[in-house]
């Protein structure tokens, strides 16, 4: 990865969804780089505990509000150099429980934060997702692939909210010359994920640590490309600093089956847990791996943390916090 630090050009940033898993790491990295941060979150799926250690640091402000609500925008007085829009329910457990709120974050929330960025002439970056590709018919997935998404399926509230948000950002760039970009994230994982959020890595880790069966959906042959959170943050900030208006994939390049992830977690935790196969959720993608050529050529970005090393660090985090956590559900 390039050694360039894009943060040097920013003085103040707004990070929506800043108390979430990925948002909290972004807040911390920006502060470490000397950028003042307004962390914006309604705590619907985020946790104040993720940013509690930042509260006493100079330049950090926590703003509890819903970016979809007009009064939230009025609270964000800025001025900002950077607006990172990461507010959204990203886990299956959350967006299935909160479908309308998920759609609002992608539509009303994106429009509101674009208005803030335009007001301050700030760089805007949308956190999009590999889910815009749906259950892909093209492999690996390039940014010019339009996707295979079920618009009325159970996952559509998340998939389509991000696809609409991408269309909205693109329209602002074309119609108003907004300085805005899009980053498509693939299976980011690491410390501060919630044990009960329904995604594979935290679910498997917590089940293994508790000695419970690991619940693998389907036959476990579906693939994912895991990207450790530190590498994801590197990529996000490089896209933010690039002024690229094109969507850019950021994700791991090691494609691994869900079954192999489960088996390796059992081995790394030394657990006696068995693996149980459960019904596979509707519209669950069969194969998932990004083509990251654009990120490599445009930004010099490549993931550095091997997935197994990242898993070890994630296990260490959950092992340290497990007594305070609820049992992980059998979701995915």
The catalytic residue positions are 158
Residues in contact with 76: Cβ distance below 8 Å, sequence separation at least 6, in sequence order = 14, 38, 40, 63, 116
How many angstroms separate the CA atoms of 186 and 299, rounded? 17
Q: What are the φ/ψ torsions at residue 111 (nearest 5 degrees)? A: -65, -40
Dihedrals phi, psi of 245, to nearest 5 degrees:
-100, -5
- Token match 């579906």: residue? 222
Helix ranges restricted to H, 44-97: 70-75, 92-97
Chain center to CA of 101: 17
Instruction: Name the phi and psi angles at 128, rounded to 5.
Output: -100, -165
Q: Alpha-carbon distance 202 to 179, whole Å?
A: 35
Distant-in-sequence, close-in-space partners of 167: CB < 8 Å, separation ≥ 6: none
Q: How far apart are CA 126 and CA 182, in angstroms?
A: 5
């Amino acid at each position: 990865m390039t050694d360039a630090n894009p943060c040097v050009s920013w003085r103040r940033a707004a990070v929506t969804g800043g108390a979430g898993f990925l948002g909290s790491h972004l807040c911390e990295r920006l502060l470490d780089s000397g950028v003042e941060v307004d962390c914006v979150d309604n705590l619907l799926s985020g946790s104040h505990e993720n940013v509690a250690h930042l509260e006493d640091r100079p330049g950090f402000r926590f703003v509890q509000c819903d970016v979809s609500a007009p009064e939230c925008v009025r609270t964000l007085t800025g001025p900002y150099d950077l607006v990172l829009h990461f507010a959204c329910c990203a886990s299956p457990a959350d967006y299935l429980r909160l479908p309308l709120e998920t759609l609002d974050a992608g539509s009303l929330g994106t429009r509101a934060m674009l208005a803030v960025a335009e007001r301050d002439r700030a760089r805007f970056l949308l956190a999009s997702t590999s889910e815009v590709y749906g259950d892909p018919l093209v492999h690996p997935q390039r940014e010019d692939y339009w996707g295979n998404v079920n618009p009325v399926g159970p996952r559509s509230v998340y998939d389509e909210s991000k696809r609409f948000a991408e269309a909205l950002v693109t329209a602002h760039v074309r119609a108003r010359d907004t300085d805005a970009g899009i980053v498509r994230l693939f299976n980011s994982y690491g410390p501060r994920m919630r044990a009960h959020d329904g995604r594979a890595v935290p679910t498997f880790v917590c089940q293994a640590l508790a000695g419970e069966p690991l619940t693998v959906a389907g036959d476990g042959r579906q693939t994912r490309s895991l990207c450790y959170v530190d590498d994801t943050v590197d990529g996000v900030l490089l896209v933010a600093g690039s002024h690229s208006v094109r969507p850019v994939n950021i994700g791991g390049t090691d494609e691994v089956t869900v079954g192999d992830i489960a088996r390796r977690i059992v081995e790394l935790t030394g657990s006696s847990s068995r693996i149980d196969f459960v019904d596979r959720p509707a519209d669950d993608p069969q194969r998932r791996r990004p083509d990251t050529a654009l990120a490599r050529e445009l930004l010099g970005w490549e993931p550095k943390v091997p997935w197994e090393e990242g898993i070890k660090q994630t296990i260490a985090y959950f092992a340290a916090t497990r007594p305070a956590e609820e049992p992980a559900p059998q979701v995915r």
